[in-house]
């Protein structure tokens, strides 16, 4: 027996499709719906708000039996085995009270508990409209052994709630409140009691709920868990060749010294130097002036090092600029170009610059990489200055693309709204958003494609000319998906020229977690499309919507989720506000962000999906450029 369990780690798995036939035999639905709710019970139709009902009943605490004509929350045992228990909690009208029923009073008025299973229930077999499963690890206070328990919740909703998206929203809100760390039940009785109390106080959209608790296995070792942001702050970053190379790539084209890396990460300068010399011997970095090192590009022999950009003939002047922030993003973008020519200007003061000129179809392109990104004043200033220098050097540029990786904003129960790893988000206006002003009058708010939050300050950005967004919209609705072909071609190009792996990672590496506070997280299964029944490999989905960033959003899952919900964001990335300020300040009317999803924060929390997500974004970028009219100003 496990007593006084402690919840260590949670793995929930949402399933918003119909249950398998094998599940149906054990899943009896609640009885037919009761009479319409009384006028003094408010039914929430705003699924973004709390699901509360105002029960004004006349119970003053002196009577433990409420009027029988009112709807009650009734708990009934469904079955029990040596390792599982099934309970049904439903809303129903109770005509009479028997001696094998417990009627709660006081704060629990409206709850009735059947002590015996009902054997004469005549309800038809109806598949639950939504189900979810999450897994709980318990630890015995006596033996210290760990037990993994599966807890399944199966939902039936009111007949008037037929919208699948709203059903998913209600279930998600119910689950969030159930596992809230402030009042998370630490034992079996508390867990069932909280479900009944939630249904007693609100969530009137739910008709019935079946709970199955099942012991899966026992183990002597606790489960592993991902690091929270707070945990990572105290994590000592190991000094490895991989980490040093990553930091050198981030700084590219700026050279970096062993002293810089040792100071920033608390490493030994001598040990850093030895790793840099080892990387140099491998041919992946090269020595520069003042004991500094920089990345060797796979096409380094073709790169021209210059003190200033040479004069470019008018008919070869680029009209499209592509800005990237990560080394892998630059490689992916350049894989889409033909007739490439790269120039690097190194400097010991200020920022070095790298420009790659090439063609995509009839268009002349220039691509560059920001030498530094982040929310520090130095990084934002460097990013803005690099953009300003780019647009000043290539003055015929009319269109600006910001291409790279970002963090997806997931939806735990709605497949259509769910953005997952490998998908691509194109910054686009959300015309459905409205703001309420002057009482009840609704007016369209100013459209935006990007929003930046700096504490209490929010700034929104939108292009004067939305032609690139329009091409992205047409691309999403088209039957053909040209980016799939461009992705394959780009992958072949990179595989022949670089040791970096740009192939798609395994599907089981796409882990989706929900933070529930107190450094506890739960793992949620990805929602599944109810329209697509194929079992083929996952493909990249193209999403249109606003993208955002914020100074401290990566530190707080709660803040990031609320920020994304407030502005309808589909992705969040590293801070690009200074880049956008420069684009707008230099009077470029057309710009667009194309972001491949590599994690669920800001695109930089893990490297596993960065290469592939960069390539997916570059392929969509090429598809948009190929949809543009040929330039006329050269």
Mean pLDDT of the region 324-343:
93
Q: Which residues are registered as beta bridge partners of 84?
A: 214
Class of domain 327-626: alpha beta
- Checking if the pLDDT of 245 tops 80, the result is yes
Q: State mean pLDDT over 10-22.
A: 37
**Strand locations in 361-487 (E):** 363-369, 399-408, 424-427, 434-436, 442-444, 450-454, 457-461
CA distance 342 to 327: 14
pTM of this structure: 0.76
Place of tokens 């099934």: 86
Beta bridge partners of 508: none
Q: What is the DSSP letter of 438?
A: S
pLDDT value of position 410: 85
Q: Which of 91-105, 181-195, 254-268, 605-619 has the lowest mean pLDDT?
A: 181-195
Say if residue 253 is preceded by a cis peptide, omega within 30 of 0.
Answer: yes
Confidence grade of residue 179 (pLDDT, cut at 50, 70, 90): confident
Lowest-pLDDT range, 283-292, 381-390, 410-419? 410-419
Domain ranges of the chain: 10-219, 327-626
Q: Rounded to an integer, what distance in angstroms lies between the CA atom of residue 302 and that of residue 523?
A: 47
Average pLDDT value for residue range 508-517: 76
Find the range with the poorest average confidence among 232-241, 291-300, 345-354, 515-524.
Answer: 515-524
pLDDT category, 335, cuts 50, 70, 90? very high
pLDDT tens-digit map of 477-492: 888 899 999 999 999 9
Mind giving me the DSSP string for 100-149? Answer: TEEE--GGGTTEEEESS--S---PPP---SEEEEEEEEEE-TTT--EEEE
pLDDT category at 348 given cuts 50, 70, 90 is: low
* Radius of gyration (C-alpha) of the chain in whole angstroms: 29
SS (H, E, C) 162-195: CCHHHHHHHHHHHHHHHCCHHHCCCCHHHHHHHH
- pLDDT at position 334 is 94
Do 542 and 475 form a contact (C-beta atoms < 8 A)? yes
Q: What is the largest CA-CA distance in the chain?
A: 95
Examine the pLDDT at 3 and tell me if it is beyond 60: no
What residues contact residue 477 under an 8 Å CB cut-off, 6+ apart?
A: none
How many whole angstroms separate alpha carbon 46 and alpha carbon 398?
Answer: 43
State the pLDDT at residue 32.
46
| 203: alpha, beta or left? (left if phi > 0; alpha if psi -120 to 50) | left
The model's pLDDT over 32-69, given as tens digits with 9 standing for 90+, comes to: 444 444 434 433 333 333 344 433 333 343 334 444 45
Q: What percent of the chain clears pLDDT 90, i.e. is strictly above it?
A: 32
Yes or no: say if 409 and 571 are a contact pair by the CB < 8 Å rule. Answer: yes
CA 170, CA 442: separation in Å to the nearest integer? 25
Q: Quote the mean pLDDT of the chain.
A: 78
204-240 pLDDT tens trace: 999 999 999 888 776 655 555 555 444 454 456 788 8
Please check whether residue 3 is in contact with residue 142, taking contact to mean a CB–CB distance below 8 angstroms.
yes
For 502, list phi and psi in degrees, rounded to 5: -110, 10
């Amino acid at each position: 027996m496990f007593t006084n369990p402690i919840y260590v780690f949670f793995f929930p798995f949402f399933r918003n499709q119909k249950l398998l036939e094998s599940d149906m035999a054990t899943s009896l639905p609640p009885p037919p719906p009761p009479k319409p709710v009384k006028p003094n019970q408010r039914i929430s139709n705003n699924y973004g708000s709390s699901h509360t009902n105002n029960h004004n009943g006349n119970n003053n605490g002196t009577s433990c039996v409420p009027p029988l004509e009112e709807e009650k929350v009734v708990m009934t045992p469904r079955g029990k085995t040596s390792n599982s228990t099934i309970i049904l909690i439903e809303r129903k009208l109770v005509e009479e009270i028997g001696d094998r029923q417990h009627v709660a009073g006081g704060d629990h008025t409206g709850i009735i508990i059947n002590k015996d299973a009902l054997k004469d229930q005549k309800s038809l077999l109806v598949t639950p409209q939504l189900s979810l499963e999450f897994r709980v690890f318990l630890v015995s206070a006596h033996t210290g052994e760990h037990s993994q328990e599966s807890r399944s919740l199966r939902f039936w909703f009111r007949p008037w709630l037929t919208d699948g998206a709203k059903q998913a929203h209600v279930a998600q809100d119910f689950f969030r409140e159930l596992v809230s760390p402030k009042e998370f039940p630490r034992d079996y009785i508390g867990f069932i009691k909280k479900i009944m109390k939630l249904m007693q106080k609100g969530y009137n959209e739910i008709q019935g709920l079946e709970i199955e608790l099942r012991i899966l296995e026992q183990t002597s070792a606790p489960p592993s868990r991902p690091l929270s942001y707070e945990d990572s702050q105290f994590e000592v970053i190991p000094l490895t060749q991989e980490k040093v190379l990553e930091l050198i790539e981030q700084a590219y084209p700026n050279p970096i010294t062993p002293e810089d890396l040792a100071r920033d990460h608390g490493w030994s300068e001598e040990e850093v130097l030895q790793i840099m010399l080892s990387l140099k011997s491998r041919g992946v970095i090269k020595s520069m002036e003042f004991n500094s090192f920089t990345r060797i590009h796979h096409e380094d022999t073709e790169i021209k090092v210059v003190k200033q950009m040479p004069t470019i003939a008018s008919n070869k002047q680029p009209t499209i600029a592509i800005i990237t922030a990560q080394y892998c993003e630059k490689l992916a973008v350049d894989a889409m170009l033909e007739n490439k020519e790269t120039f690097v200007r190194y400097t010991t003061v200020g920022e070095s610059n790298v420009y790659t000129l090439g063609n995509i179809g009839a268009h002349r392109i220039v691509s560059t990489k920001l030498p530094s990104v982040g929310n520090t004043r130095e990084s934002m200033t460097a990013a803005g200055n690099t953009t300003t220098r780019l647009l000043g050097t290539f003055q015929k540029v009319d269109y600006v693309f910001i291409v790279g990786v970002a963090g997806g904003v997931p939806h735990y129960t709605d497949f259509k709204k769910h953005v997952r790893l490998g998908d691509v988000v194109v910054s686009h206006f959300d015309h459905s958003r409205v703001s309420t002003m002057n009482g009840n009058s609704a007016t369209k708010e100013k459209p935006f494609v990007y929003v930046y939050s700096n504490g209490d300050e929010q700034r929104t950005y939108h292009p004067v000319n939305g032609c690139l967004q329009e091409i992205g919209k047409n691309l999403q609705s088209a039957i053909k998906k040209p980016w799939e072909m461009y992705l394959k071609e780009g992958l072949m190009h990179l595989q022949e020229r670089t040791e970096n792996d740009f192939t798609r990672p395994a599907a089981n590496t796409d882990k989706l977690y929900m933070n529930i506070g107190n450094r506890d997280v739960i793992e949620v299964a990805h929602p599944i499309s109810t329209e697509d029944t194929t079992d083929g490999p996952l493909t990249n989905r193209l999403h249109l919507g606003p993208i955002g960033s914020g100074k401290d959003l990566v530190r707080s899952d709660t803040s990031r989720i609320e920020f994304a919900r407030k502005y309808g964001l589909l992705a969040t990335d590293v801070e690009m506000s200074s880049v956008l300020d420069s684009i707008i300040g230099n009077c470029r009317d057309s710009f667009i962000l194309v972001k491949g999803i590599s994690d669920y924060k800001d695109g930089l929390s893990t490297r596993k999906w960065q290469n592939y997500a960069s390539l997916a974004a570059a392929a969509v970028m090429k598809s948009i450029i190929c949809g543009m009219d040929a330039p006329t100003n050269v």
